[in-house]
């Protein structure tokens, strides 16, 4: 089959890790007789350097012509990069928020699980990890809440004051809740809705609407948890979670925590989906400007994001399984980039890891 894939190389380690993912996609195309047409899209700092803006209409228009978009990472060092001397709405991150909004990517899926081979990297004690480890997914609402509410910084009677607004309507909550329950149906059938309903009106609406949606999925266990408690439970007993459903800001914070708890943030993928099968796929980690250009970054999160893209947007389940098993194989064979290296394993570069995964795909 033929597909059009947008590639956002982005900033920092973005170009290196996207190149490795593209190698893997090319191997998949060869093996399964697909044709992937790639188109490069500018976003973030790279877009600022080329056009003065972190997101242009051309990028949005071109992305709309794609079946899916694969992204590396955007942003730079806030202390040293000239991008951060621009006003906030012109900085790299504004481009990412802009493309999420423009393409209606309201459903952000962020899996966090423990690779058996990488148990040593997990910062939790053995008795917490248990025999099976943990495997959860955060379903984060991505186009509402504080990130997109009215905001303003003003001077009131000589006092500088800043306001951000957290607003959700029931439709925004319902559509993301449905996604979370659908995902739970294909997993362990449990949804934990996370909020701050003891304080916030918006959270009380989240509880009300998600409870209504839960009635449509009687097989799924539904529970509510306060976000501060959830932050604690993620390190106390992550095994209790299957699907965590939450609003934009809470999801941003909890997903970093969840990925750190796995000990391998360089391994975790993510997908941002709209109402159709279109999605933007990106690793859960950032642009790591400190190691950019050194060919030492871990490309696995991006390669697994490409696998998610095969599965969710291109409907190529077998191919996605193949990529995921190839990743497991290289880990079992002992290949490690620096971030997950431990004694007795074989240290490889970013491109070395991409080559190892590609080789396994080609041979199997
Ligand atoms: C993420 C990032 C972004 C967010 C930033 C870069 C705007 O932290 O994808 O989690 O806060 O959503
Ligand atoms: Mg974040």
The CATH number for 1-111+275-364, chosen from 3.20.20.80, 2.40.10.10, 3.40.718.10, 3.40.50.300, is 3.40.718.10
Q: Which is the closest atom of ligand 1 to the Cα of 74? A: 6
**Active site (annotated) includes residue 256:** yes
Q: Please indicate whether the domains covering 1-111+275-364 and 123-261 agree at the CATH topology level.
A: yes
**Active site (annotated) includes residue 11:** no
Q: Is the CB of 252 under 6 A from ligand 1?
A: yes
The CATH architecture assigned to 123-261 reads 3-Layer(aba) Sandwich (3.40)
Distance 251 CA to ligand 2 centre (A): 8
**Active site (annotated) includes residue 77:** no
Q: What would the pLDDT profile of 158-194 be if each residue is shown by its tens digit?
A: 999 999 999 999 999 999 999 999 999 999 999 999 9
What separation in angstroms does the CA of 257 have from each of 21, 126, 146, 178, 234?
25, 18, 19, 24, 8
- The residue nearest atom 1 of ligand 1, judged by CA position, is 252
Percent of the chain that is helix, strand, coil (3-state, to 5):
50, 20, 30
**Active site (annotated) includes residue 228:** yes
List the domain boundaries for the chain.
1-111+275-364, 123-261
Distance 177 CA to ligand 1 centre (A): 21
Query: Which pTM does this prediction carry?
Result: 0.95
Q: Which is the closest atom of ligand 1 to the Cα of 75? A: 6
The sign of the torsion formed by the CA atoms of 26, 27, 30, 35 equals: negative
Structure token digits, residue 300:
């696995």
Q: What would the pLDDT profile of 116-147 be if each residue is shown by its tens digit?
A: 888 888 999 999 999 888 999 999 999 999 99
Q: What would the pLDDT profile of 70-92 be if each residue is shown by its tens digit?
A: 999 999 999 999 999 999 999 99
Q: Which residues of the chain have pLDDT under 70?
A: none
Q: Residue 214's closest CA among 246, 187, 177?
A: 177
């Amino acid at each position: 089959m033929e597909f059009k894939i947008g590639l956002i190389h982005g900033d920092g380690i973005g170009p290196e890790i996207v190149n490795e993912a593209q190698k893997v996609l090319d191997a998949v195309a060869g093996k399964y007789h697909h044709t992937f047409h790639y188109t490069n899209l500018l976003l973030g700092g790279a877009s600022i350097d080329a056009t003065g803006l972190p997101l242009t209409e051309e990028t949005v228009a071109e992305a709309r012509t794609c079946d899916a978009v694969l992204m590396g990472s955007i942003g730079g060092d806030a202390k040293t990069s000239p991008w951060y001397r621009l006003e906030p709405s012109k900085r790299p991150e504004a481009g990412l928020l802009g493309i999420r909004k423009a393409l209606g990517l309201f459903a952000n899926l962020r899996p966090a699980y423990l690779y058996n081979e990488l148990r040593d990297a997990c910062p939790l004690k053995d008795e917490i990890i248990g025999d099976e480890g943990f495997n959860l997914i955060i379903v984060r609402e991505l186009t509402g809440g504080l990130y997109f509410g009215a905001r303003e910084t003003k001077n009131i009677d000589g006092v500088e004051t800043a306001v951000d607004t957290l607003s959700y309507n029931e439709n925004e909550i319902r559509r993301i809740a449905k996604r979370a329950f659908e995902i739970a149906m294909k997993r362990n059938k449990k949804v934990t809705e996370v909020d701050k309903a003891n304080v916030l009106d918006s959270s009380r609406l989240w509880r009300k609407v998600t409870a209504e949606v839960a009635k449509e999925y009687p097989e799924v266990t539904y529970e509510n948890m306060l976000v501060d408690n959830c932050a604690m439970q993620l390190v106390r007993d992550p095994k209790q979670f299957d699907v965590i459903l939450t609003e934009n800001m809470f999801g941003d914070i909890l997903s970093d925590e969840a990925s750190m708890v796995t000990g391998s943030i360089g391994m975790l993928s993510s997908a941002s989906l709209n109402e159709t099968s279109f999605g933007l796929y990106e690793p859960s980690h950032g642009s790591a400007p400190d190691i950019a250009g050194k060919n030492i970054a871990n490309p696995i999160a991006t390669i697994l994001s490409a696998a998610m893209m095969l599965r969710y947007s291109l409907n190529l389940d077998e191919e996605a399984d193949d990529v995921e098993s190839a990743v497991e194989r290289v880990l079992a064979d002992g290949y490690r980039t620096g971030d997950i290296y431990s004694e007795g394993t074989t240290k490889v570069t970013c491109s070395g890891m991409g080559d190892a995964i590609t080789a396994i795909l080609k041979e199997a």
